[in-house]
């Protein structure tokens, strides 16, 4: 059991910085050594860690239970801390607390039971309908529905595109331990080397370069199992994905993403209407220091982050300028690129709570103080229940025949309903 005591917050910043440094370094030292290393920023007793923090009333913001645990125990991620709290493995002042967002105050004592390692990832075939636009011996082009996660990861064990692909291709279940890395989905070579690329809204070219240039050597990202996946879309994004069925096809498709020869076009609904009918957005993109689940736009060409370039075109002004249907063509593929760039230009995606496009922002942009329209806007966002983004067009060269292929698919019904509602919110 880990015991964490909240006394005051005078030394909070130095303790926090030290422990975050240990976590970032992904320390692999034995537990006793790690506890010893922590002593510079926090007092350790046996297997317990005492973090001395002073005067919480002077701290900015609130001190959440899950954030405190993950910060004080470098081997426990925020997600694992949340899971532990929900499972009843955490006590505050001797009482079980099951809310990860519970607030701590000066003097609180937090007891954390030893958290077991998560179970080995398993990818089982599941009979899930697929909207397949094209399939041959080398690849498949799939129209992913909004709400479907692309690959297996902790917290997403079922209902993913990978589960559906395994079933469609007649493959048995897979686990991370069965194979050295992520795989193509050719039944004849499923036991051969496995390959995957790091996450991105469309895959990051730097990661694709590694996937294509190191065949059989690129290791599976920890906590992820995604055979055949060449690129990905966020859970809330609908639209087109290409999936490799053979190793050579996977490599050649990755080469095309890396060379930026893949045509990718998206359609979206933004809050407000950009001043320019079309423009190029050029920034760097990197993790947001304030929230690791988000990305942030940074100065173009700076030392931090990776270059990201998007071109947008306003296709239709909606709700008398309170919203707009906007088409995007990507020159790069960074994590959350369109979501970040739409926020950067001051017009976040409708329904994107993470980047400022939730119901409150929609009420301001669309209803604009008209009480009669507020409920309409709330209903619109609730019905959509996702960022209004759809991968409409995908074009690439076939990895075997060399033929140029281009696919297009209209947005799903929820997107069209949202557009029609906004068209009717003129008066």
Q: Which residues are catalytic?
A: 234
What are the residues whose beta carbons fall under 8 Å from the beta carbon of 75, sequence distance 6 or more?
A: 31, 34
H or E segment to which residue 340 belongs: helix 337-344
C-alpha 268: how far from its chain's center? 18
Q: Are strands 323-330 and 263-271 parallel, antiparallel or unpaired?
A: antiparallel
Mapped onto helix, strand or coil, the DSSP state of residue 161 is helix
Mapped onto helix, strand or coil, the DSSP state of residue 15 is helix
Which string of b and e fits 176-185 if b means at least 16 CB within 10 Å?
Answer: bebbbbbbbb
Q: How many CB atoms lie within 10 A of CB 16?
A: 19
Joined tokens for residue 119:
């179970």
H or E segment to which residue 3 belongs: strand 2-5
Burial class (CB in 10 A: 0-12, 13-18, 19+), 311: middle
Q: Are strands 389-397 and 48-50 parallel, antiparallel or unpaired?
A: unpaired
Mapped onto helix, strand or coil, the DSSP state of residue 147 is coil
Mapped onto helix, strand or coil, the DSSP state of residue 413 is helix
């Amino acid at each position: 059991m880990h015991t964490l005591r909240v006394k005051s917050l005078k030394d909070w910043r130095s303790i926090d910085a030290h422990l975050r440094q240990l976590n970032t370094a992904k320390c692999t030292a034995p537990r006793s050594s790690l506890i010893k290393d922590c002593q510079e920023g926090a007092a350790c007793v046996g297997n317990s860690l005492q973090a001395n923090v002073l005067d919480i009333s002077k701290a900015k913001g609130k001190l959440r239970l899950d954030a405190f645990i993950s910060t004080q125990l470098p081997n426990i991620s925020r997600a694992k801390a949340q899971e532990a709290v929900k499972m009843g493995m955490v006590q505050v002042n001797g009482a079980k607390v099951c809310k990860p967002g519970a607030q701590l105050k000066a003097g609180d004592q937090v007891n954390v039971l030893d958290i077991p390692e998560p179970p080995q990832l398993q990818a089982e075939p599941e009979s899930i309908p697929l909207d397949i636009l094209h399939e041959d011996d080398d690849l498949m082009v799939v129209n992913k529905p909004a709400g479907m996660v692309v690959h297996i990861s902790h917290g997403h064990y079922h209902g993913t595109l990978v589960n559906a692909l395994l079933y469609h291709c007649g493959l048995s279940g897979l686990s991370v331990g069965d194979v050295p890395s992520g795989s193509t989905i050719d039944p004849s070579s499923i036991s051969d080397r496995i390959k995957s690329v790091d996450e991105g809204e469309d895959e990051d070219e730097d990661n694709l370069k590694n996937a294509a240039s190191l065949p059989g050597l690129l290791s599976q990202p920890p906590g992820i199992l995604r055979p055949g996946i060449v690129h990905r879309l966020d859970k809330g994004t609908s639209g087109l994905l290409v999936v490799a069925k053979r190793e050579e096809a996977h490599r050649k498709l990755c080469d095309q993403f890396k060379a930026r020869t893949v045509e990718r076009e998206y359609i979206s609904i933004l809050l407000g209407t950009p001043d320019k009918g079309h423009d190029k957005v050029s920034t760097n993109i990197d993790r947001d220091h304030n929230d690791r689940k988000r990305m942030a736009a940074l100065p173009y060409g700076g030392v931090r982050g990776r270059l990201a370039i998007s071109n947008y075109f306003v296709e239709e002004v909606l709700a008398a300028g309170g919203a707009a249907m906007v088409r995007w063509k990507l020159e790069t593929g960074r994590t959350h690129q369109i979501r970040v760039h739409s926020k950067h230009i001051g017009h976040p995606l409708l329904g994107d709570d993470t980047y400022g496009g939730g119901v409150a922002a929609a009420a301001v942009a669309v209803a604009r103080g008209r009480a009669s329209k507020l409920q309409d806007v709330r209903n619109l966002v609730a019905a959509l229940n996702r960022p209004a983004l759809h991968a409409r067009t995908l074009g690439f060269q076939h990895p075997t025949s060399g033929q140029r292929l281009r696919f297009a698919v209209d947005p799903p019904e929820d997107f069209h309903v949202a557009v029609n509602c906004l068209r009717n919110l003129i008066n």
